[in-house]
Amino acid sequence: MGEMKGSAVFRFAGFTLDPRRGALIDRSGTEIALRPKTFDVLRHLLANAGRLVTREELLAAVWPGVFVADENVTGCVAEIRRALHDDGRLLRTMPKRGYLLEAEVTQVTSGTSEAKEAEKPPSLDRQASGEATPNPLVPPVRASLVVLPFTNLSGDPDQEYFADGITEELTTALSRVRWFFVVARNSAFTYKGRAVDVRQVGQELGVRYVLEGSVRRAGEHVRISVQLSETETGHHVWADRFDGTREDIFALQDRVTEAVAGAMEPSLQAAEIGRSATKPTGSLDAYDLYLRGLSRAYRLTREDSEAALTLFRQAVALDPDFALAKAYGAGHRVVRKAQGWSEPEEWAEGAVWARELLWLGQDDPSVLRLAAITVAHLGRDYAAGVAGAERALARNRGSAQVLLSCAWVYVYACQPETAIPLFERAVRLSPHDPEVAFTLSGIALAHLVAGDLEAAAHWADRSVRHAPTWLAGRRTLVGALMMSGQEAEARAAAAALRSIAPQDRSLEDVIPPLQNQKIRGRYITALRAAGVPG
């Protein structure tokens, strides 16, 4: 949109920018102080929302006829992000090009009745309707849903992993249907064990439908009950119950997937659903081990990591053709290497598994994305990693996990211009991901590779705040600060890193294998200069 003349009130993402009052007002009605130039930068970005705005354009608009350094723009952008609590969905840095504000923006000319209404704090409208959800997301145009964690009704807490596994499998299957927008598993699991209002979930995750369900397992008998609700009204669209035996579990999952898709799109052809259905293994015992491994792999502790790897290995030993278990076993070794929990023999085994999966020509994007990141990281085969990532993305760009893994592959291959948009889309698909630190540290490293050290430090700091024990984020923060000349801050960050995890491995072992050896060398040199041992 072009910039409007005169003073216009802007409403966006729960905030109001009122040029007449010179104020940014948050959803609670509180005014947020901004420096005059920062205010002008935000106003220009809002007037041009959805369009790339170059630094040169911002300099000309905000500092006309005056020579100022780029740092002035960088400082204003950083202040805007702090004021908006930007989590990557609003103001994007496009490396070496400029900035893109992605938000639904309403402009109203000051003085009109519409403007007076717009100047009211956004929270007042929600309070009047009885809602209190901050900063609701706007659902995408295409069909969108979240699969909430299924309830375990088996009466046995040890069966919790089975209900969680069914939830994850349904999320993956539905995300492969090309016209679905499916929120990622990690954001969905933030609602585990909570009584929820589907209308609130719809606002918080930006989806039109919520799938809830339960799993009851008694011996060999399995019952899956599901309910599909529309988030705008809270009305039930459809509900059903599916009974079978443990041996029928894959057929049960396929039936649920087909029924959900059919309820959401009456014109859907059965063949479309068939493309999403897979039977990962013929061994139910192997599948059970795989689900147990998944439940441990998501916990970022060394003890759980060891248990997860053991369970994945046992699953593969029972069924050597169980590609998904082999893929997770390979991919989990990347996390273990970054944390300093593994040895070269384990890396070599993971790389071998990844190459086998790529050579076999797997069509499952979940397998491809893990094989791609593993072969690039552990095998340093960047060409094979990028080729695997391209295959995974071609099959499913609607999965946050696929986007995240493939984005990391492009970081390793030193292609930040490709990686950053994938990371940002992963955040949109999983807006409340408790493991968002992995994504944030990836965005940080991508900016470091691109040479935007201010952005790298910003995103790395956010990664550290989300997950203090995720060492990759801490290392990137130290490196970005040191490389940008902020030595005191870098040394403090290095001391914090040492206090959490005293380095007992060479930095050559734990630093991501960037294809550009000059960048990687400067990164390692900066870490050592800041006081990180190794």
**Domain-embedded: residue 56:** yes
Residue 124 has pLDDT above 80, yes or no: no
Report percent pLDDT > 90 for the chain: 29
Q: What is the mean pLDDT of residues 20-31?
A: 75
CATH of the domain at 166: 3.40.50.10610
Residue 261 has pLDDT above 70, yes or no: no
**Domain-embedded: residue 394:** yes
Inter-CA distances, 240 with 234, 255, 332, Å: 17, 11, 36
d(CA 68, CA 54) in angstroms, rounded, equals 15
Closest by Cα among 228, 225, 227 to 216: 225
Looking at residue 348, its amino acid is: A
SS3 percent helix, strand, coil of the chain, rounded to 5, is: 55, 15, 30
Closest by Cα among 104, 144, 139, 128 to 15: 104
**Domain-embedded: residue 462:** yes
* Among 221, 247, 274, residue at a domain's last position: 274
The secondary structure of 367-405 as a DSSP string is: HHHHHHHHHHHTS--HHHHHHHHHHHHHH-SS-HHHHHH
Residue 198 near residue 217, CB atoms below 8 Å: no
Least confident of 240-254, 363-377, 435-449: 240-254
Return all residues near 428 (Cβ < 8 A) that are at least 6 apart.
89, 206
Q: Does 107 or 322 have the greater pLDDT score? A: 322
**96 shares a domain with 147:** no
CATH of the domain at 398: 1.25.40.10
**151 shares a domain with 123:** no
Closest by Cα among 62, 98, 71, 102 to 86: 102
d(CA 297, CA 185) in angstroms, rounded, equals 14
Closest by Cα among 244, 247, 246, 198 to 223: 244
Helix locations, 277-322, DSSP H: 284-297, 302-318
Residue 300 near residue 313, CB atoms below 8 Å: no
CATH of the domain at 26: 1.10.10.10
**Domain-embedded: residue 342:** no
At 146-167, the pLDDT tens digits run 899 999 888 788 788 888 888 8
**55 shares a domain with 173:** no
Both tokens assigned to 318: 């029972």
At 320-347, the pLDDT tens digits run 888 889 999 999 998 888 888 888 888 8
User: What local confidence, expressed as pLDDT, does residue 264 receive?
Assistant: 55
Please work out, in degrees rounded to the nearest 5, the angle formed at the alpha carbon of residue 7 by the alpha carbons of 3 and 13: 70
Residue 141 has pLDDT above 50, yes or no: no
Inter-CA distances, 109 with 10, 115, 117, 344, Å: 9, 6, 11, 64
Closest by Cα among 10, 101, 5 to 53: 101
Question: For the whole model, what pTM was predicted?
Answer: 0.57
Structural domains counted in the chain = 3
**Domain-embedded: residue 1:** no
**Domain-embedded: residue 314:** no
Looking at residue 352, its amino acid is: V
Burial class (CB in 10 A: 0-12, 13-18, 19+), 248: middle
Both tokens assigned to 163: 């209900």
Distance between alpha carbon 314 and the CA centroid of its chain, in Å?
29
Both tokens assigned to 334: 């990347």
Residue 457 near residue 212, CB atoms below 8 Å: no
**184 shares a domain with 105:** no
At 474-483, the pLDDT tens digits run 999 999 999 9
Residue 38: strand, helix, or coil: helix
Reported confidence tier of residue 127, pLDDT bands at 50, 70, 90: very low
Helix (H), strand (E) at residue 147: strand 143-147
**251 shares a domain with 158:** yes
Both tokens assigned to 519: 């960048």
Q: Which domain holds residue 270?
A: 143-274
Classify residue 505 by its DSSP letter: S
Cα Rg of the chain, angstroms: 24
Looking at residue 12, its amino acid is: F
Residue 113 has pLDDT above 50, yes or no: no
Burial class (CB in 10 A: 0-12, 13-18, 19+), 293: buried
**169 shares a domain with 110:** no
Residue carrying structure tokens 């059970």: 288
**147 shares a domain with 120:** no
d(CA 299, CA 304) in angstroms, rounded, equals 6
Largest CA distance in the chain: 78
Report percent pLDDT > 70 for the chain: 84
**414 shares a domain with 267:** no
* Among 232, 252, 274, residue at a domain's last position: 274
Residue 486 near residue 467, CB atoms below 8 Å: no
Burial class (CB in 10 A: 0-12, 13-18, 19+), 310: middle
Residue 269 has pLDDT above 50, yes or no: no
**263 shares a domain with 381:** no
**155 shares a domain with 68:** no
User: What local confidence, expressed as pLDDT, does residue 180 receive?
Assistant: 64
* Among 274, 307, 339, residue at a domain's last position: 274
Looking at residue 36, its amino acid is: P
Helix (H), strand (E) at residue 236: strand 236-245
**Domain-embedded: residue 137:** no
User: What local confidence, expressed as pLDDT, does residue 441 receive?
Assistant: 93
**Domain-embedded: residue 320:** no
* Residue 487 CB-half CA count within 13 A: 3
